[in-house]
């Protein structure tokens, strides 16, 4: 098999905010079609499209009421087919999000399940009687706050939800549920997609005995109640791995495709490896580089060196639709374009499959969204301690001098940050020094260097804030030395013995004798 995804670059499209084709203020599938040439010019191997399925939109598409229908907000199934056809014509693979752990409470499955205790789908969701004191069956907590159990007056039982109460969890212990989910996967596989991104892939199964989670002595700096428990029983159950293998077998029947798991776990790397060992999923990304900071050489080195498996393949991303954009999270409010360019240059030199979140190729900072414009239920629930996920989900700026940065004439579903106008696509395309121009060069550079796509990685001791590592591809014999200054002052480091040639990667840096001179946020890629 070609394994196009191994070492490839995949661009995440959050469709509500990517491109609006009909000026209703919400992005859509025809809008993505209109911008596919832009993504082809960026040089990505594939795109991952976040949910566009029929949904009440309580969690903006991650609460699905029909897995096999396109929500009218985003277009039609014909639009999806056209998107798939054009992407393939441009040589771009199309990966779609699959949300299997839970549905919307408006899904016909749940409506039937909650109607009685003896209907054909009565056991398709996780139901439990109240304790003698009327409380829920255990202490499980929702990630979005409060108990992970809601009372249903029709069945006079509690149902489980790891997220919103409008997102009831499916009961994967029921073989009929597993079969139904495989049928959903088969529907899209037969339509010709190139792979799945599996939302919260380690959340599908729960402990059948409904045992309470024990407390955790260290919450890792997170102050929400969810992080005060050791999640031994409400996620990452051993039965889940068998289902991953079953799903993988179905995917493999349809050609050279890929599956990537989103892993939410305290054991970031170990859990990701567990889910991507042979026979399970192709790759996985986790939140080690999405939640933690500050940005140091030790953080990046620790993450990649923790991936000790020779058989499981990693994926890495610095941003996505659930976390603060990396430019702001790691660089602060004062971070400039040089910082964004260094981040993109670094990401595209790492070993693994690389995921770029829409807007990071432009160097967008986290948007400021006032409280009265917040749409994210998580952000509203935890305000003012957290502004939630809206700040990373605002519309992509296409034209700097147009209203709403050219996203739509109508006021968009989230406001465009005024700072984003100056970073609009049309302004950056004309500037060879822009972050967009750098991003295009970085992706092109990765594509032609087998050491970056497929090679090994070996870190070289260097004082902070310099991150130094060697990428080597045995098949081609190519060796590259990658040096990055993660700090705001000039840094120097000694070069390993040998003769090194500057590959003109595009970041500021130079060789002086046997030393590398790295300006603030600078970098070098050298060839042996």
Contact partners, residue 481, CB within 8 Å, separation at least 6: 460, 468, 469, 470, 495, 496, 500, 524, 525, 526, 527, 528
- Is the sign of the CA dihedral 518, 521, 522, 526 positive or negative? positive
Catalytic residue among 20, 45, 97, 262: 262
Q: How many helices (H) and strands (E) does the chain have?
A: 15, 21
Residues 246, 177 contacting (CB under 8 angstroms): no
Residues 121, 112 contacting (CB under 8 angstroms): yes
Rounded CA separation 161/173 (Å): 16
Residues 22, 29 contacting (CB under 8 angstroms): no
Residues 467, 297 contacting (CB under 8 angstroms): yes
Catalytic residue among 28, 79, 199, 234: 199
**φ, ψ for residue 527, nearest 5 deg:** -110, 135
Chain mean position to CA 117: 37
CA-CA distances (angstroms) from residue 358 to 253, 302, 304, 320?
Answer: 31, 26, 23, 8
Residues 231, 138 contacting (CB under 8 angstroms): no
262 is catalytic: yes
Instruction: Name residue, tokens 């147009």.
Output: 402
For residue 503 the two structure tokens come to 């590959």
Nearest-10 Cα torsion for 161, 164, 166, 167: -50
Rounded CA separation 345/445 (Å): 10
DSSP 126-169: -EEPPPTTS--SS--B-TTSSBSEEEETTTTEEEE-SS-TTSPB
Rounded CA separation 244/205 (Å): 11
**φ, ψ for residue 466, nearest 5 deg:** -90, 130
Contact partners, residue 446, CB within 8 Å, separation at least 6: 7, 9, 348, 349, 354, 452, 453
324 is catalytic: no
Considering only CA atoms, which of 371, 366, 364, 375 is closest in space to residue 400?
Answer: 364
Instruction: Name residue, tokens 């996920």.
Output: 389
Exposed (0-12), middle (13-18) or buried (19+): which is 75, by Cβ within 10 Å?
buried
Exposed (0-12), middle (13-18) or buried (19+): which is 489, by Cβ within 10 Å?
exposed
**φ, ψ for residue 480, nearest 5 deg:** -125, 140
Angle between helices 239-252 and 268-275 (to 10 degrees): 50
Instruction: Indicate which residues carry an active-site annotation.
Output: 199, 262
């Amino acid at each position: 098999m070609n394994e196009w995804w191994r070492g490839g670059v995949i661009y995440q499209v959050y469709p509500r905010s990517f491109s609006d084709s009909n000026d209703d203020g919400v992005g859509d599938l025809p809008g993505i079609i209109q911008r596919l040439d832009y993504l082809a010019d960026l040089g990505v191997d594939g795109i991952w499209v976040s949910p566009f399925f029929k949904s009440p939109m309580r969690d903006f598409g991650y609460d699905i009421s029909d897995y096999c229908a396109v929500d009218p907000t985003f277009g039609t199934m014909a639009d999806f087919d056209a998107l798939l056809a054009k992407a393939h014509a441009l040589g771009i693979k199309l990966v779609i999000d699959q949300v299997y752990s839970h549905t919307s409470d408006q899904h016909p499955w749940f409506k039937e399940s909650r109607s009685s205790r003896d209907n054909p789908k009565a056991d398709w969701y996780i139901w439990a009687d109240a304790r003698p004191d009327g409380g829920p069956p255990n202490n499980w907590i929702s990630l979005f706050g409060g108990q992970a159990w809601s009372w249903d007056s029709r069945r006079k039982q509690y149902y489980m939800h790891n997220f919103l109460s409008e997102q009831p969890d499916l009961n994967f212990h029921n073989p009929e549920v597993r079969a139904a989910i495989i049928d959903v996967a088969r529907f899209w596989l037969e339509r010709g997609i190139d792979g799945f991104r599996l939302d919260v892939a380690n959340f599908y199964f729960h402990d059948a005995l409904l045992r309470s989670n024990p407390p955790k002595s260290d919450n890792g700096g997170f102050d929400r109640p969810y992080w005060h428990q050791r999640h031994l029983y409400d996620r990452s159950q051993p039965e889940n791995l068998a289902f991953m293998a079953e799903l993988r077998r179905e995917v493999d029947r349809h050609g050279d495709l890929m599956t990537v798991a989103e892993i939410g776990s305290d054991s970031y790397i170990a859990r990701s490896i567990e889910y991507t060992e042979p026979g399970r999923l192709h790759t996985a990304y986790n939140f080690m580089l999405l939640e933690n900071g500050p940005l140091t050489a030790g953080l990046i080195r620790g993450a990649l060196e923790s991936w000790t498996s020779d058989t499981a393949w990693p994926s890495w991303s610095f941003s996505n639709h659930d976390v603060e954009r990396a430019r702001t999270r790691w660089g602060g409010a004062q971070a400039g374009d040089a910082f964004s360019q260094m981040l993109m240059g670094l990401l595209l030199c790492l070993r693994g499959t690389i995921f770029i979140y829409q807007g990071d190729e432009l160097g967008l900072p986290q948007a400021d969204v006032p409280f009265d414009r917040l749409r994210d239920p998580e952000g509203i629930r935890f305000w003012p301690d957290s502004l939630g996920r809206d700040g990373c989900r605002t519309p992509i700026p296409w034209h700097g001098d147009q209203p709403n940065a050219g996203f739509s004439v109508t006021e968009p579903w989230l406001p465009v940050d005024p700072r984003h106008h100056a970073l609009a696509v049309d302004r950056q395309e004309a500037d060879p020094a822009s972050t967009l121009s750098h991003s295009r060069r970085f992706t092109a550079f990765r594509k032609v260097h087998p050491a970056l796509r497929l090679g090994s990685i070996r870190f070289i001791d260097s004082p902070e804030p310099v991150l130094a590592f060697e990428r080597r591809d045995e098949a081609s014999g190519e060796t590259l030395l990658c040096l990055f200054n993660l700090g705001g002052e000039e840094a120097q480091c000694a070069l390993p013995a040998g003769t090194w040639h500057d590959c003109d990667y595009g970041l500021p840096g130079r060789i002086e004798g046997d030393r590398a001179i790295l300006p603030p946020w600078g970098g070098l890629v050298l060839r042996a």
